[in-house]
Structure formats: structure tokens, C-alpha cells
Chain A
């Protein structure tokens, strides 16, 4: 390749990343639900004409980015390129073809250049309601979990599909927010289209072909080099999730052979009766994420980096076939990285962190006035994080999402959306697992209905029965706890009730420690006491 051409392609790669960044920014700026606009639960990316992901916005969360990478191919299967037209935008929330549950809406917009299809923009966001039983584990099948939107047109030649909008409005609890977010997703791809058009005009590139080949071959080569540097062999690990009523076993075998990393989930518990199952597409996303964190954190995420990780499983809780209920697939999916990292610890001792809280402690609140009183009904969604595991050489991060990439919503924004009061949201003292390096602290949250209101909430919590384990001699982090302020214990999963005048108290898990506690530096212990990270007196 001519040297100057090579540099131009490098530069265009950067430009493509800036295009998808703009795409993601548009989604945040225009979204209605707090999950998107405050918490950034979204992703955006650009694809070549074959549906291969070339670049993604760095703001995305792995459960979206890596599923969407595969989802675009499913759109191509459902709608032949010959049937696609300029101004079209396609949509689905199919858990098995999209991003794992009905609450995630994926939109794909074809890119035409001089009449030819040259690629796609795709984006995904989590919306606040999709009808059915609401966001929770209680559905017995996907049919109870809400409205299913098979791959179809959101807009045809620029014209919004009005029937779809009417159907949506009739089926969801917050129609303005949900329909607003559909428009926002479409606007996000629209901005991507405009920018890509400008880039092609300026550079004179006819399509994404040469640039795509350059990006994927460069990435593929770098991935192969990294994998070649890993030890060969197979390593196993197992993790216990609380499940819904009975604990669930998650098992993984990680094999490094040839130019790939293989992850197999044989030995995991069977499909659950409850909505905590994960479709394969979602499990793969988090398995690939975990491998990439260890093997290639600095290599851009695209079709070629994802192709280096192969994931297999017989049908079970992490490969649940339709029509299994999957609403809370994130709880299991978020535990997959700790599961995979634990196996990789066998291959790379001294490089892998201890276990952390893993699953976000999301809570969906359905608030209403007490019977006979005036007030407001509202659906409120909060994302909250426990502690991350300690790292070899560093304490764990407190109250920080991992593996998810989302943010928490500001309390001030959350309280604007519905009649609830968050009375406490602060670090949970003493919850980090002891060790040479301490696990990150969880947090304590107290939520009450506003005066004259009561609420139902959907619990989607884990690590209550099995706390995050330490590594290399480090102690476990504190297990989670769910209760009312009068001491009544509540369950970690399922819809439950908080009456007027009571507070729900959530104690989120702390991360596991790393290394033997007796090797923790005295200065670090003194600082932990001074800051109140651990309770107790000076020795």
C-alpha cells in the first residue's frame, strides 16, 4: 500500500469513530428515559454492507455493543438488501435477534451512496417500559414480558410507521417517554448518516469497502498477536448466582488454542422458570468483553476483535431458547465476566482481579397514590452499583459499575420522574473484602414513597446468597441485603410492595479482596479507618 494512502486510511478510521461518537451524543441529548439520558444505557455503531461492525461509540455498554454487532446481521437476514430503500429505518426488540430482552430497542438504518447500499448505522437503548408485566423476573415466558416487535420498519422512505406508534402507545405505561425514545433512536442514526455522507464527500471514498477491510485486517492481526502470546490450555471456573428461588450454577471452560479463545458454558444450570435467563447473543457479548479486558484492552472493539472469541453452550440458563423468559438477562449476563475472568486467572495468575458485585442493582419502581388520595403514578428506573473486586496492586473501585458501562442517574433527576424520595445513597462501610488490596465498597440506598404514595418494585439483585469471592488469599466482600426499614427481610428477585410510611433499604455487595489480609500495608489500614471505609477502633 502506498504510504500516503495508508495514512489517509488511518485518519479515516479516526473520523469514523468521531461519526459514531456524534451519533451517541445525539441519543443522550434527545432521549426521554433516564436510563438513556442520565445513565448512558445505549450504544451506537457503524457497519459495512455485509453487516460487520467497523466502529462503535466508546460510550456504549458491552451488553449492547457486542450484541448489536451480531444483531445487524440478523436484520440483513430478515430484510433482503434488495428490499431496503433510502430513508428506511428498521427496528426490533427481539431478545434473540437483538440485545437480549424486550426493553432494549435496536434500530438499524441502511446507508445508500449513489443508489447503492454501502453500510448501516445501528443504535440500541433501554426504554422505561414495554408493557406486559413490566421489567422483572416474574414472567413465565417472553409472551408475558411485554410487546414483541419483530424486525420491521420504523420508517419507510422517511415516513414514520404510524401503525407501529399507535400499537406502542396502546401497550406501554409511559407512552410519551417510550415513543419519544423511538424518535430519539431514529434521530441518532440520522445524524450518523449526515456525518458519514459529509466524510465520503470530502474524501472521495465511494464506499466503506477499502476502509472496512483496513480496519478489520489491522484489528484482526493485532488480536492474533495478543492471543499468540497467551499460554495454551484449558481452565475452568464456576460461580453461584442467587437465582430466583434456588441458587444457579454458572460454569465456564476457557481454552486458548490456535488464534482464538474459546469459552464454553457446559455445566451451567438448566433454563430457569423465571425471567433471569440469558439468550446466547447476550452471554457471548459479556464473555467476549471479559476476554478483551485481559487480552486486548487497547484494541478498538469491532467485528474482527469480537471474532477472536468463540462462545459455545448447550441450551441452559446462559443459552436459553425462545420462548424462555429473559427480562432480567442482565443479572446472569453481568456475572459472566467474573466467571470467565476466574478461569483466565488459571492461565494468567497475578493479573486477574477478585470478584465484584457484578450485576448492577437495578430497581424498577411502579409508584401510585395511596387509594383515595391525590397524587401521581410513575415508572421509575434506577441503576446502582456495588463494589468492584480488588486488583493485583490496587484496591477495588467502590460503587462502580463493572462489567456494565452505565452510569447511575442523579438522585435529583430520579426524584423529578416520580413520587419517591431517596433518603440515602452512600458508601456501605465495611463492605469491601479484606486483603493486601481491599475490595471496593458497596453502597446503601434507602427509598421511600413520597407522602400519600406507595410503590411496587421489581427486585433484580444478586450476590445476596453468595458474596463476591476474594482472590489469591483475599477475603470475600460483604453479601447484599434487601429489607424494609422495620427489619422485614425481602427477596432479591421479584415484584414486592413498599407501603406508605416505610423505606426500602438496599445494601449492595462489596468487592472481594486480593492477596492475604496480613500483607495489607499499615498506612492503607489507617487510611481506611480515617475515611470510615472500615469501621472499628485504632488497634
Chain B
């Protein structure tokens, strides 16, 4: 069903808008409706009514609904989950409260640490201990667990999390504890060895708590959604997009809702990956900039990179370490507090700073004239001429240059003795540099060089800043696709039906045990394919990855393994592959230490029909614009006469000579003096560096 060419609907619930895209044999119909936080399914039903009417199809004709949402993330950030009991190893009651025992801001004497998701009085230690090798050091106290079940039953809890030390190495105690508790409690129980089977107790315990915490809410929402869709005549399966970018059945999502936390941004990355595939672009950086954040993701060989952990709900200026670590497969991206609504200010060093505080949609940037008095990125963009005050959002919002000037001058210009234009330039330059830095750091953490890649820019604010980002990053080509405003929901429709199964098991290559490896990988393959089979009948691809390091190191690098049964001699080949990867990341391989595999993953997904590909058109026939205005060019540091084009009036094969601005309903694409733009066969804009 998932890869049949039926009618499919992608649904993305965001903080402000719910986006719905209906794909009828390749023809897309989209709608944006306001999110309805009290009953999120309502916005989906309204949106589906709109797109089915527009497409002229009946709800019953929909073959598949693919759904992603920030509901789980928001429940974690806003602490709206269930009261959760954590059952944990005796002696380790405070793991999630003591965190790393460090301060994420070194000099702030008044620092406050985030409150643990499960308060101390709701954390219940039980005797029983597994050792580092998976051996049992002390039997589980089953009688105490039975007694504890009584306490939990009377305690008014909505969910239970179980997290024991070294359960990633041996889950027996956690599984037995679940059995004992489940026999006595009518509550959903999550165990850490299933939710996040990875070493490092703080991260794993926190992840199982997060899962348990959002589980009742998500279970209830998802069952309501299915019921109401059924009532409206949508009888097809609903699948969820998970943070790793694959799809999972709704029942799995309800049991492991923590896997949904980054599902919206994951949709954006898949959208970019699909564009990359359509143009045959092997190395891509996707750049998604909306109202409050910017997301940057590296995509190699049409596949977004994945990681095994990330941090949610940062409490202190997006500072690393100030949120909750979540250990699950995620599309690896860097998210920073830089969007069109991000506010600019001046620090004690007389430096311009931008974000993470945002004007949001209410009151919005000062130029919206809805009471916002502080300068946002959008205000600076307006003053530099990048936006047309009379033609923003298709003319629906009249932008006030005067209010933008007052805000920029008041907050930044006066403090620094800069004229308004220079202050506006400073604001955009700082935010562009911040984003470029984030992209660069992210690339380095991934062992990549960002220069030479192709950028794919989408989201409302990205096309305004993409050209300057490219100048800073040494990128020569950037695509601004059609449909960028609802990119994530389109991405859901493009997602492969996939799942990544992960297990930790340390093995030194000098003692490479082929039989054990084959057994372990067979188990992971079965697990991954089991998930995928729930959604597709078609052919499946698999990718086997070993996470490897020198014995004694604490962090691993991914090494792709051949997908076949291993023989004892294969240890040598795997070691050689590791050394090559290591030297590429860090300069030189290390002489001496043993090489080991720490964890293993198998990613399975269905094989999608290859989309129609077309090469990048880098030629094009130059067109002249009807209009022109002065726009500040950051590379030249001066105002330049700039051609203004209407995107809908530019047919494929036309070339716009920079500096120029290409205007459309939701945003504008800035073509700086360093770039030209060529309209592609599918309507995408290609920014192309001159010369």
C-alpha cells in the first residue's frame, strides 16, 4: 500500500499551522490551517476537507495518511505529560536529577538547571544489579517490585518508566520488572532497554522517562484521530513519520512516542533529500528557516544523515547541555534560534546579537504594525530592500518601513552609533554568520567540508538569506524549490517506509566472533523488517552500520558494513575500513590500540519508485525586469540597483541576472550581485554563482 500510486495525504502539525498536502498521482493540493491545540485532530479534519474538495476526491479514496507532529516535543517543552513513576536501580535514584554534575554556563553564579521530568518523590529504587559485561551481580528484588506496584497503583500515576543500570547490555531485569508491574497495574510501561538501548545511564533513563511521560497523551490523541478519520470516511491506514525520517505504524508510534519528537523537521530534511534525488545531487546541505528557528542538515547520496541522540527543550538560550538528552535515531541536524521573527539586541561588548528570543506571530516583527517594538530579522530584511513593503504575503500584510526603522534605530543603531542601514546590515550579517557557523560546526562534527555542496533552501525566511549564506560558506549553487512553504508535509509523502534497529554490543576486532555477529545482525534485520513489513508488501533495502572506535575511546564513528553473513577473517577488512574513515575525520590513524565495534544498526526501508530526474539547468535566457529598486548588497557593502521579478511570471529556462529579487506570495528570493538565477524545469529557482 505505501508504495502504491494511490491518493496519499501528508499532515504536519506545527506550533502555529497545520499543513496538509494531498498527492493525487503526482499532482499536489495543499492547505494551511491554524493548529487547534486542544484537539489537534480537528485541524487535520478541516484541512483534509479542504484539500479533498479542491482535488475533487472523496475522503474514502485516500489510500494512506502520513503524519508528523510537534505535539510530543511541545508536551516535553511545556511539561504537559502524564505523572510518571520511574522504577530504577537501587543507589541510582537521582541519575536524571544529577545529570552530568556540570554547569552548561561556566560564569553564571545564578545558573538554574532544568527540573527533571520525573520529580524525586516519584522515583522508586529497587535492588538488583547487572554488571558492565551483562552479568548479574545481584538478583532483582521481585517481592519489592510487587509491593511497589501497589504504591504506584494508589499514587495517581499515568505512566511507568523502568530504567536499570547496564540494561543495554542485558535487559533481563527490566523485562522481568515490566512483567511483574504489568500484572498489577493498568498503566503503560516503558523500559529503557527497548526505548533506547545505548550506554550512558543519564541519557537512557531520561529517554525512557520522556517516552513514558508523553505516552498517554499521544496514545489518546492518536486513537481519537483514527476514530474521527474513520467517521469522516477516511478508512485507510495512518502511519507516522519518526525523528529518524522513516515511517512507523501508528500503533508503534503510540508505544514509542518519544520517537516522534523531531518528526516535523525530519519531514523538511526528507523534502530536501527528494529534491536532491530529482536533480541527481550527491552532496547537499538543506537549509530550512522559518519564523523562530533555522534547521541545517547534510544530505549525502539523497539520504539525510542520522544520529543516535539529540537534546530537546533547551532552557538557557539554546545552550548545549541545557535541555534533555534523548537517545533515539534522529535525522542529524543543527537547529538554532534564528528565524524571521528572531529579535536583535546589543550586548555588553557592544556586539549585535540575534535571538533566540522571537517576536513570534504575535506581536510579530515591528514592521507588521501589531505592537512589536523590537527589531526582528524581518525588519532588517525590509530596511535593506529585500522585502517589498507593499507586496508582502501577496499584499495581505502591509509592512511599515517607519516602524522597522524606529525599532532598528532604537535597539541597535543608537547604541552603536550606526546609521539605520548599517545597523540593519549588522543584524542580517550577524544572523547569517551565526547560521553559517552552525552549518560549518555541524559539517565538521560530521567530518565533512561544506564548501562545494549544493544548498536547498526552503521555509518562509530561507530564500531571503540563502545567497549570503552561500557566499559565506563557499557554496556556488542553491536551489529554492516550489512548495517550500509546506515542505515538511511534502517531505512526509516522499519518505521511504523505513526503520532503524539499533543494539549495543561491544566486540574487539581481534576477537571478531562471526557467529555472534551474524546472530545479532539477523535479530536486528528481523526487527527492522518486521516494522517495515507492517506497512509495505514491496521490496526492501537494508543498510548495516557498525559504530566503531579504538578501544578506550568513548565516541564512535559509523562504518558501513557489507550486508551479508560474516566469516572469521572479515575482522581484518572491517578494521581497514575503520582506519580509513578515522584518518579522514581526524587527520591520522592511531598506532597501537585495539579496534572495537560498540553498537550496530540495521536500517530497512521499502524501495521507492525513482522520481523523474532532470539535470540542473545552468544556462537560461536572460530576461529583463519591469521594475527595479535599491537593495543593499552585503558582499559589496553598498546599495545596488536591483531588478524585481515576479516568480510566477518566470517560465522554466529563463535566467535572472543578479542583483535581483524574485517575489512570490509567501517570500522572496534574494539573488545577490555574486549570483544569477536560472528557473528549472520544475519551477525551482537555481542560484548560480557568476563566473
> Known contacts being A25-B445, A176-B552, is A415 close to B131, with CB within 8 Å?
yes
Q: Is the CB of A531 within 8 A of B120?
A: yes
Q: Check if B92 is an interface residue, CB within 8 A of chain A.
A: yes
Known: A187-B586, A219-B349, A443-B98. A37 touches B112 (CB 8 A): no
CB < 8 Å neighbour of A294 from B109, B119, B588, B594 = B109
Q: In chain A, residues 5-52, which have Cβ atoms closer than 8 Å to a Cβ of chain B?
A: 7-8, 10-11, 13-15, 18, 21-22, 25-26, 28-34, 37-38, 40
Count A interface residues, CB 8 Å.
91
Given A22-B444, A218-B349, A293 and B107 contact (CB-CB distance below 8 Å): yes
Q: A14-B434, A38-B554 are in contact. Are A7 and B425 (CB under 8 A)?
A: yes
A210 part of interface (Cβ distance < 8 Å)? no
Tell whether A425 is near chain B: CB-to-CB under 8 Å.
yes
Which positions 439-491 of chain A face chain B at CB distance < 8 Å?
A: 443, 446, 450
Residues of A within 8 A of B220 (CB): none
CA distance A322 to B95 in the complex (A): 42
A280 → B minimal CB distance (Å): 22
- B contact residues around A427 at 8 Å (CB): 93-94, 97-98, 120
Which chain B positions have C-beta within 8 A of A408? 98, 100-102
B202 contacts the other chain (CB 8 A): yes
Q: Name which of A114-122, A142-150, A264-272, A397-405 contacts chain B.
A: A397-405
The proximity string for A residues 326-365 relative to B, scoring 1 for CB distances below 8 Å and 0 otherwise, is 0000000000000000000000000001000000000000
Evaluate whether A183 and B349 lie within 8 angstroms (CB atoms) in the complex, with A4-B637, A18-B437 already known.
Answer: no
B437's partner among A15, A179, A385, A401 (CB-CB below 8 A) is A15
Say yes or no for B129: interface residue by CB 8 A criterion.
Answer: yes
B94 touches A412 (CB 8 A): no
| Inter-chain contact A25/B433, CB cutoff 8 Å | no
Within 8 Å by CB of B433, from A15, A190, A219, A412, lies A15
Please tell me if the beta carbons of B350 and A218 are within 8 angstroms of each other in the complex: yes
B256 to chain A, nearest CB (A): 22
Q: Is the CB of B586 within 8 A of A30?
A: yes
CB distance from A66 to the nearest CB of B (A): 11
**A399 CA to B116 CA, complexed, in Å:** 14
- Contact assessment for B587 and A176 in the assembled complex, using a CB-CB cutoff below 8 Å: no
Instruction: Fill in one digit per residue for B407-446: 1 if any A CB lies within 8 Å of its CB, else 0.
Output: 0000000000011001001100110011001001100110
Choose among A34, A406, A416 the residue with the greatest number of B CB atoms under 10 Å from its CB: A416
Contact string, B507-549, partner A, CB cutoff 8 A, digits 1/0?
A: 0000000000000000000000000000000000000000000
* Chain B residues within an 8 Å CB radius of A383: 101
| Residue of B107, B119, B441 with highest tally of chain A CB at under 10 A | B107
**Pairwise interchain contact A3-B119, C-beta atoms closer than 8 A:** no
Report the separation of the CA atoms of residues A218 and B350 in the bound assembly, to the nearest whole angstrom: 8
Chain B residues contacting A18 (CB-CB under 8 Å) are: 437, 440-441
- Complexed CA–CA distance, A190 and B350 (Å): 32
Q: In the bound complex, do residue B555 and residue A394 qualify as a contact, i.e. CB atoms below 8 Å apart?
A: no
A113 at the interface (CB under 8 A from B): no
The stretch of A131-139, A296-304, A308-316, A517-525 in contact with B is: A296-304
- Chain B residues 604-645 with CB under 8 Å of chain A are 637
B691 proximal to A (CB < 8 A): no
Among A177, A187, A413, contact of B587 (Cβ-Cβ < 8 Å): A187
How far is it, in angstroms, between the C-alpha of A31 and the C-alpha of B691 when the chains are bound? 44
Q: Which residue of A lies closest to B594 (CB)?
A: A176
B638 to chain A, nearest CB (A): 9
Given A7-B429, A222-B348, A398-B97, decide whether A425 and B131 contact each other with a Cβ distance below 8 A. no
Which A residues from 169 to 191 make CB contacts under 8 A with B?
Answer: 175-177, 179-180, 183, 186-187, 190-191
Measured between alpha carbons, how far is A397 from B114 in the docked complex, in Å?
11
B80-117 residues with Cβ-Cβ distance < 8 A to A are 90-95, 97-98, 100-103, 106-113
A26 & B586 in contact (Cβ 8 Å cutoff): yes
Chain B positions 122-162 with a Cβ under 8 Å from a chain A Cβ: 129, 131-132, 137
Residue of A nearest to B445 (CB): A25
User: How far in angstroms is the closest Cβ of chain A from B317?
Assistant: 11
B101 touches A407 (CB 8 A): yes
A531 lies within 8 A of B109 (CB): no
Q: Which of A3, A34, A177 contacts B422 (CB 8 A)?
A: A3
Interface assignment of A195: CB less than 8 Å from any CB of chain B: yes
The reply to whether B422 and A412 contact each other, CB–CB distance below 8 Å, is no
- A501 beta carbon closer than 8 Å to chain B: no
Chain A residues with Cβ below 8 Å from B422 are: 3-4, 7
Most buried by A among B106, B429, B585, B587: B106
Measured CB to CB, the nearest residue on chain B to A169 is B592
Residue A62 lies at the interface, judged by CB distance under 8 Å to chain B:
yes
Cβ of B274 under 8 Å from chain A: no
Q: State whether A394 and B112 are in contact (beta carbons under 8 Å apart), knowing that A22-B441, A531-B120 are contacts in the complex.
A: yes
Tell me, in angstroms, the Cα distance from A175 to B593 when the chains sit together: 9
Whether B101 lies near A421 (C-beta < 8 A) is no
Residue B121 interfacial (CB < 8 Å): yes
Q: B389: shortest Cβ distance to chain A, in Å?
A: 24
B578 within 8 A of A: no
In the bound complex, how far is the Cα of B349 from the Cα of A10, in angstroms? 10
Whether B437 contacts A412 by the Cβ 8 Å rule is no
Q: A202-B474, A405-B106 are in contact. Are A37 and B555 (CB under 8 A)?
A: yes
Q: Which residues in B have their C-beta under 8 angstroms from that of A296?
A: 107, 348
Nearest A residue to B449, CB-CB? A198
**Distance from A67 Cβ to chain B, minimum over Cβ atoms (Å):** 15
Report the Cα distance A50→B506, complex, angstroms.
47
Interchain nearest-CB distance for B95 vs A (Å): 8
A424 engages B200 (CB within 8 Å): no
Q: A282-297 CB contact bits vs B (8 Å, 1 = yes)?
A: 0000000100111011
- Bound: A525/B222 CA distance, A: 41
Contact check, A202 vs B429: say whether CB atoms are below 8 A apart. Answer: no
Q: What separation, in Å, do the CA atoms of A38 and B440 have in the docked complex?
A: 24
**In the bound complex, CA of A400 to CA of B321 (Å):** 14
Known contacts A4-B422, A14-B433: A176-B593 contact under CB 8 Å: yes
Cβ distance B390 to chain A, nearest Cβ, rounded Å: 29
CA distance A296 to B551 in the complex (A): 42
**Binary CB contact string for chain A from 383 to 396 against chain B (1 if under 8 A, 0 otherwise):** 11100000101100
Contacts of A245 in B (CB 8 A): none
Closest chain A residue to B132, Cβ basis = A415
- Asked if residues A415 and B103 are in contact (CB atoms below 8 Å), the reply is no
Residues facing A in B583-605 (CB within 8 A) are 585-588, 590-594
Inter-chain CA distance A289–B109, complex, in Å, is: 11
Alpha-carbon distance between A196 and B112 when the two chains are bound, in angstroms: 35
6 A-B pairs besides A176-B594, A446-B91 with CB distance below 8 A are: A15-B433, A32-B552, A58-B106, A186-B587, A292-B107, A401-B103
Can you name 21 A-B residue pairings with CB atoms under 8 Å? A8-B429, A14-B434, A18-B437, A26-B586, A28-B555, A29-B445, A29-B555, A37-B555, A179-B590, A187-B586, A187-B588, A195-B444, A222-B348, A297-B108, A383-B101, A394-B112, A398-B98, A399-B94, A400-B113, A407-B101, A426-B94
